[in-house]
Chain A
Amino acid sequence: MRPFVENLPFLCIFLAILTGIVSAVIPRGRVCYWMTVTVAGIIAVLSAVVLQYTYGGNLSFTYSMGRFAAPYGNAIQCGPLQALLAMVFSVVLALALAGGKRDLFHDVLPGKLRLYFTMVNLLEASLLALVYTNDVFTGYVFIEISTIAACALVMAKDNGPNLIATIRYLFMSLLGSGLFLIGLTLLNSITGYLLMPSLAQAVAELAESGDYRIPLTVAVGLIIGGLGIKSAMFPFHLWLPDAHGGATTASSAMLSGLVLKGYIVLMITMMMRVFSMELMGELGVTNVILAFGLLGMILGSLEAMREYHVKRMLAYSSVAQIGYIFMGLGLGTTAGVVASCFHILVHACCKPLLFCCAGRLSAVSGHHKSLKNLRGSAYRDVSAGLGFTVGALSMIGIPLFGGFVSKLYLANAALPTNRTVLALVTLALSTVLNALYYVPALLAIWVRPPAEAEQHVLEDTRPEDLAFDRSFTTAAIALMAGIFVLGIFYHPITDVLEAGIALMGT
């Protein structure tokens, strides 16, 4: 008889799925909203319990999904890292929904809100499953769920450019999951397993004996490449700005903050649990990831500098931030992975905050999105202005904010490797570039324009948009608190991450 707490991860996934199905038949959008937020909160609490159990006992348990043990049936694996990620993801999901609530009810037709919340809940289920999964094919199925749900979130606003952005996103995602599936097929043909522990053993044997070298290399490349396309690794990011920049606020926040991370977490799981870092280094895959990561850090920021549409600017900034994560993975050391995981957490707090604040700032400026029209908007909703400032400063990497710590850890991880100079120079350059587009944005929102210039913006603004937005303010404060917690009390968190990553390979 296993302790009851070990059932919780599976219950969380099923709870999210059930909520998703049920919300498809609830006609009132508001009920669906509260149900979704409540369920996300419940999942966060349950995950916290699991975190306490796994971190306290320093253990990582396998939970067979059904009657049949390891190589025969499905299984999920849960350790401190997975529990922490699940907790943060569901909290951020709830906060992103709360932060974009008003925009959401404005942008989506009332009759279709229930379908929107179906998507959100199943997205949450797929994120949890991607985090917990111990089976590569389950990973594939939930990648597809997450693809459909994410595309539906993009198109929920339902205007022309949005539909086009969605179809581009869909095609790019299909390409990614197609490559992932074919990589999986190759891997299965040379090992015969789908469950990660058995797969890892078979892969290790193959790596040692040198049999099937080419299929193994190709399979690793395709799986990493497929996941890379889906998580907007640098040269495959072209779909991202339109999709994330054009969607409704809550969708952008969830897509940038969470969906991309789901795929990256699966990639980390594959790297740590199946292929092992040594093999990845031997096959040269880590170098490729590092190169793409570094390129993304620079070129994503450069693209962001050219943007004047605030949400698209944030979307390009996501490309750069994803580059940071890939850089950490590409270093090929455990310290690098810890830094990447920390950056995942930081970015999962920062980007939703920035998107929600940008959405709110544009709402108080007559739903204009270009920075020119947002001038002085921070005074119309001070909490949004403060939130944007905190998020931007964290992105730049000012001490006391979360972004600083993750950059510190990334730099620290780069020191013992033989790519120190390259990594550090890119990190510094990217920080300067970040400052070069976030500081003007901050100045734009905080500097009052001349009255006559503000006039035409205010004419477009509806009075109900200017009214105090309670759910947004709550969400912004919570996310800001999250950034400060990550920036100041980072030691316990990195301890959890280190313990989780150490337990992952077993």
Chain B
Amino acid sequence: MNKTPSKQSWWLRLVEWVDGDREPKDQTLFVMEQRPPRHVQRSDAEFATQDKHRLHRFRRWYPVCAVLICLALMGILMAAVLTMPTFGEADNPINNEVAEHYLEYGLEETGSANVVTAMILSYRGFDTLGESCVLFLAVAAVMMLLLRDEKNTDEHDQQKQEREDGILAAHPDLILRRAAWVLVPFVFLFALYVLLNGEVSPGGGFSGGTILGAGLILYSAAYGPKQMRVLMDARRYAAVRTFGLVLYVLLYGIYIFLGANQMPNYLTGMTLLIDLAVGLVVACTVYGFYVLFSRGEF
């Protein structure tokens, strides 16, 4: 760049600029703007000069800064951690009356012997609701990206997919199929067990739902998409997913409404239903990720 432009040209440029001719510093770019846009194919060389220059400068300094920031952050965190309450002591500030209350009255107040379940579904259920929404959103975002449409799929991809399906249909994997035939019922049974026993044992909606989703994935992998569509097509999938979360939101909404207004608790068996709803959401999320990443359609 010219460091000492003549005074007049500098003034002219300012006048032009104030007039709205916002001329970028780089003259090459300015020339490009004059051509009919949209159809312009700026030449690579011109870009190389402009963009690479900027990127190179950034690239040189970036690692140095990054390492410095990282080391500083680690130092700060280490200092904080070393002056933190000691690990494993019973009289740490975190073991205060809130935790004691959960342990002491959790069973009585929520009907669930597993205090972690009691906490995430009753005491701090709003967080868990948010968490389920995160799962729902993640599937929606992945769908937005990977669900097949005219923008992200071309002929080639389509053909490749069909070819693979054809091969899979012609030569089914016998071992996988037999194993899945034996395993899938038990996986589902176990999922149901974990789901329904979340109140009294380690488990609950999240773990049970994941196992359920894994069962669906196993079935889908062994029997192929065609067979899977009989069990769960796009429509049914959307219905189950929506139903799970809507059930959860409605139940929890009523629960909050009753609780906050000090009305009698009509929803005594709610934890089980909510566990079930969470399980459905999680299973659909896990299975949805698998399907979207592997095929992009249900």
A191 vs B258: C-alpha distance when bound (angstroms): 31
CB–CB B259/A443 < 8 A? no
Chain B residues within 8 Å of A443, by CB: 18-20
Chain B residues within 8 Å of A68, by CB: 109, 122-123, 259
A375 vs B16: C-alpha distance when bound (angstroms): 13
CB–CB A192/B94 < 8 A? yes
CB–CB A65/B76 < 8 A? no
Asked, given contacts A1-B262, A193-B98, whether A115 binds B93 with beta carbons under 8 Å apart, the answer is: no
Chain B nearest Cβ from A323, distance in angstroms: 21
- Interface band, chain B: 35 or more
On chain A, the number of residues with a Cβ less than 8 Å from chain B's Cβ atoms is 85
Chain A nearest Cβ from B123, distance in angstroms: 5
Chain B nearest Cβ from A8, distance in angstroms: 11
Chain B nearest Cβ from A182, distance in angstroms: 7
CB–CB A192/B144 < 8 A? no
A132 vs B102: C-alpha distance when bound (angstroms): 25
A135 vs B20: C-alpha distance when bound (angstroms): 50
Chain B nearest Cβ from A255, distance in angstroms: 15
Asked, given contacts A74-B124, A444-B20, A444-B22, whether A129 binds B144 with beta carbons under 8 Å apart, the answer is: no
Is B45 at the interface (CB under 8 A from chain A)? no
Asked, given contacts A74-B125, A138-B126, whether A148 binds B141 with beta carbons under 8 Å apart, the answer is: yes
CB–CB A186/B80 < 8 A? yes
User: Of the 9-residue stretches A14-22, A289-297, A404-412, which lies at the interface with chain B?
Assistant: A14-22
Is A416 at the interface (CB under 8 A from chain B)? no
Is B36 at the interface (CB under 8 A from chain A)? yes
How many A-B pairs have beta carbons closer than 8 Å: the answer is 222
Chain B residues within 8 Å of A7, by CB: 257, 260-261
CB–CB A368/B37 < 8 A? yes
CB–CB B77/A308 < 8 A? no
User: Of the 9-residue stretches B4-12, B132-140, B163-171, B178-186, which lies at the interface with chain A?
Assistant: B132-140
Sample (5) of A-B pairs whose CB atoms are under 8 Å apart: A10-B260, A25-B238, A25-B239, A158-B144, A371-B20
Residues on B lying within 8 angstroms of A by beta carbon are 17-22, 24-25, 33, 36-38, 76-77, 79-81, 83-85, 92-99, 101-102, 109, 122-127, 129-131, 133-134, 136-138, 140-141, 143-145, 147, 149-152, 238-239, 241-242, 245-246, 249-250, 253, 255-262, 265
Residues on A lying within 8 angstroms of B by beta carbon are 1-2, 6-7, 10-11, 14, 17-18, 20-22, 24-25, 63-68, 71-74, 109, 111-112, 115-116, 118-119, 122, 125, 129, 135, 137-138, 141-142, 144-145, 148-149, 151-152, 155-156, 158, 182, 186, 188-194, 202, 212-215, 217-219, 221, 306, 308, 366, 368, 370-373, 375, 439-441, 443-444, 447, 456-457, 459-460
